[in-house]
Structure 1
Amino acid sequence: MAAAKNKTAPKSDEVRKAPVYLPTSNPPKPRMALLIVMAVVAVIWFALLAYLALQQTGTI
């Protein structure tokens, strides 16, 4: 435990550089089907919540 606390600090004369991110030739592809499915699930979820809320108030 004590050995883990005795880390050497980086020297002040070292220059830290920000990492360079290169453009990739294989970017992630957008998945339109997943977007449509998530939108349908969200609409069904909100419709169910509205139905249950109206059922609680006695409107339905």
Structure 2
Amino acid sequence: MAAAKNKQTTKSDQVPRAPVYLPTSNPPKPHIAFLIGMAVVTVIWFGLLVYLALQQVGTI
């Protein structure tokens, strides 16, 4: 029993350390197709929002 209590107290006494991330010489590069696709999705999304807003007003 005493040994189990000692293990628990030593774990709580330790200070948690933040992980260290080393810089990489080959970082991932952004994919241009993904950027274009997200731009298209954004334009369609805003277009749909404007269409629905105009429907609510009753101008369409």
* TM-score grouping bracket, smaller chain normalisation: 0.5 to 0.7
Residue number in structure 1 paired with 2:8: 8
In 2, Cα distance between the equivalents of 1:40 and 1:52?
Answer: 18
Higher helix share: 2
Per-residue CA distance 1:13-42 (angstroms, 9 max, x = gap): x78765432221331111121011101101
Residue number in structure 2 paired with 1:3: none
List runs of 5+ in structure 1 lacking aligned partners.
Answer: 1-5
**Is the alpha carbon distance of 1:55 and 1:19 closer, same or farther for their aligned partners in structure 2, counting shifts above 3 Å?**
closer
Task: Give the residue type in structure 2 aligned to 1:29.
Answer: K
Matched, 1:20 2:47: no
List runs of 5+ in structure 2 lacking aligned partners.
Answer: none
**Is the alpha carbon distance of 1:28 and 1:15 closer, same or farther for their aligned partners in structure 2, counting shifts above 3 Å?**
same
In 2, Cα distance between the equivalents of 1:16 and 1:55?
Answer: 56
Scaled by the length of structure 1, the TM-score of the pair is 0.62
Q: CA RMSD in A?
A: 2.6
